[in-house]
Chains A and B, each alone.
Chain A
Amino acid sequence: MDKKAWEKKFRNSGLREADFSTISGRPLEPLYDWDDLADLNLKKELAYPGEYPYTRGVHPSMYRGKLWTMRQFAGMGTPQQTNQRYKFLLEKGQTGLSVAFDNPTLYGWDSDHALSIGEVGRTGVAVDTMEDMEILFDEIPLDKVSTSMTINAPASWIFAMFLANAEKRHIPFAELRGTLQNDILKEYIAQKEWIFPPEPHLRLITDLMAFCADHVPQWNTISISGYHIREAGSTAAQELAFTLADGFAYVEHALRAGLDIDDFAPRLSFFFNAHLDFFEEIAKLRAARRIWARHMKERFKAKNPRSWLCRFHVQTAGCSLTAQQPELNIVRTALEALAGVLGGCQSLHTNSMDEALALPSEKAVEIALRTQQVIAFESGAANVIDPLGGSYFVEKLTNELEEEAERYFRKIEEHGGVVPAIEKGFFQREITRAAYEYQMALSRKRKISVGVNEFVNEDERLEIPLLEIDESVEKDQVRRLGEVRKRRDNGAVRAKLEALEKAAAGTANLTPFLLDCARVYGTLGEISAALISVFGEYQEQPFF
């Protein structure tokens, strides 16, 4: 039978009335075959795992060598409560830590700031001074467990507190392993937690890259994140393109500052979303590795193969979770996590079933972690490297996503680069439009969300227990912060803050100055204020 004959039979077999596009609206053929890959040099485009352009994975052995790190993002209430959650997770077999900070901390504000009222400890843990780091990581072996910190605008001074705490515990910086998210560009694009205009933030990031190359060599200085872009409503291709474009912008900034690409590029890492559309997500992750490798090698002329690697963390899609029939979220998360694994992630967070309702309860987070263990140890998914490599469909999708990303790179260039495109609202508009289109597709039932717009249980009652954050958390945190302010050497704090301010006005690397402020228990908000006095604050033009 030739293809035409099959197509005829296919059309005559009676087809369902349904939307067969991906969740991002990408049209799909009913069947892919050898013709779709005819123009492709598979050996060159795929190569071997651990070989350029890394389509099949960044390591030669992938999960045969080492499973992905199971890293649950966690933080709530006081540093003591979060420390207990970390110990619980490590005891249950988690292999890395990931800190979720509360909103005031993410904005660089102290817990006793007037606008922090009602927000302390709500969506993460509050960290005001090094003392909070001491409590947060109490009895946790920082030289053995790797730690990821989701913090961006004030990342450098939160990291300074982390380093100062390690120093106090006599743990050498060189033994610390982990990741700082530190990705300000996606804040302007999607997550919206900034302090200064882009340029001073970029300087702080470049300073940290230079400092870590010399002093904290195992630390990933940035986790260039598509996760939040996707959560804000982007398509898979937008997530891929905007994230990698941000990555190129950081590289260009560091190069302009005079850094050698092979000194900092091996410590760049990435963070992607794993959404519901199984094959498109796998293709997206495979495409990310190939695109990054090509640009780093061919465009930026990096020589060290480690500079070419797109190593990434994956988190399942929070925005795919439903408040209705929340137990179904366990299933959604399992499918998404499997896509992350088949896409070759280096670490993985699985969301808990209750996260459309609240921060996760202990029971819910245990099920989420156990989901990863089922994938790793029961499903067989980790036995073979890149098991979908060579699939007509997945290879075709990988190519399409790569091409679409390249088209976006050209558009961004036309806007003058990432920062001008942010200032013109280019990314924000693209994402808002995609979010609205998806919502309308749900409204019109072109896309189905089980339990939400179809298969609804009328008179559904919530039957899972939810975590509550007690109001005493804020009071406790504010009280302890007040005590630290009284107890510390306030003369030393003033001197270090003044030195920081002076350095900020010049061109020195700011990381050592931030470290000095952290050592004497300067607060997060005091350090922010010192820098704001030099750098100013950023304002966004609201639109929808």
Chain B
Amino acid sequence: MAEKKIKIIIAKPGLDGHDRGAKVVARALVEAGMEVVYLGLRQTPESIVNAALEEDADVVGLSILSGAHMTHFKRVKELMDKNGLGDRLLTGGGIIPTKDQDKLKDLGVGKVFGPGDDLQSIVDYIRKWRGSQGD
């Protein structure tokens, strides 16, 4: 049986219009054989988690370059846990200082990527996470 495609929600929470990174990553994930649902701009934590539920997504990726990452990641993680998506991967990227990356890790958020990270490293990370999940 063919392996089920990894399904990923990509979203821009809050008011941040910088969508270059999100779109480039979305394309790279599709090229790598994953299924991407791009929600676009101005998403709320609620709209993102609802989409993840509806799509039964494996991974949620947030792109935040506005400095509001602590607020948004925390809220999305809480809502994912509350809605039975605690076993799914919450990851993302943007302008996120190392100190805050550590704090996000403590909240249960996965690796957070930044400027200069290679597209392949994102693909590899998601595949590795999936591999560690078993069936």
Contact = CB atoms under 8 A, between A and B. Distances in A.
Given A119-B68, A543-B38, A322 B116 contact: yes
User: Which of A106, A192, A359, A540 counts the most B-chain CB atoms under 10 A from its CB?
Assistant: A192
Interface stretch (B21-29, B52-60, B77-85, B124-132): B21-29
Given A118-B72, A453-B118, A231 B20 contact: yes
Nearest to B121: A443
Interface in A429-478: 432, 435-436, 439-440, 442-443, 449, 451-453, 462, 466, 469
B86 interface: no
Given A118-B70, A542-B39, A358 B97 contact: yes
Interface string B1-22: 0000000001000111101101
Nearest to A543: B38
A359 B65 CA distance: 11
A169 B36 CA distance: 54
A452 B121 CA distance: 13
B63 to A, nearest CB: 11
A192 B19 contact: yes
A439 B119 CA distance: 8
Given A117-B71, A119-B67, A544 B22 contact: yes
Contacts of B95: 356-358
A359 B66 CA distance: 10
Interface residues of A, number: 47
User: Which of B10, B15, B24, B67 counts the most A-chain CB atoms under 10 A from its CB?
Assistant: B15
A119 B66 contact: yes
* Interface of B: prevailing SS: mixed
Contacts of B98: 462
25 contacts: A115-B15, A115-B44, A117-B71, A118-B68, A118-B71, A192-B41, A193-B17, A231-B20, A232-B19, A319-B20, A323-B114, A357-B95, A358-B67, A432-B24, A432-B27, A435-B20, A435-B24, A436-B24, A440-B119, A443-B119, A451-B116, A462-B98, A540-B40, A542-B39, A544-B26
Given A119-B66, A542-B38, 11 more contacts: A106-B15, A115-B44, A118-B71, A119-B68, A192-B41, A356-B116, A439-B28, A452-B116, A466-B97, A542-B39, A544-B27
Give the top 9 A-B pairs by smallest Cβ distance, nearest first: A542-B40, A118-B71, A192-B17, A122-B67, A103-B15, A118-B68, A544-B23, A452-B116, A544-B26
Interface of B: 10, 14-17, 19-20, 22-24, 26-28, 36, 38-42, 44, 66-68, 70-72, 95, 97-98, 114-116, 118-120
Interface of A: 103-104, 106-107, 109, 115-119, 122-123, 187, 191-193, 231-233, 319, 321-324, 356-359, 432, 435-436, 439-440, 442-443, 449, 451-453, 462, 466, 469, 540-544
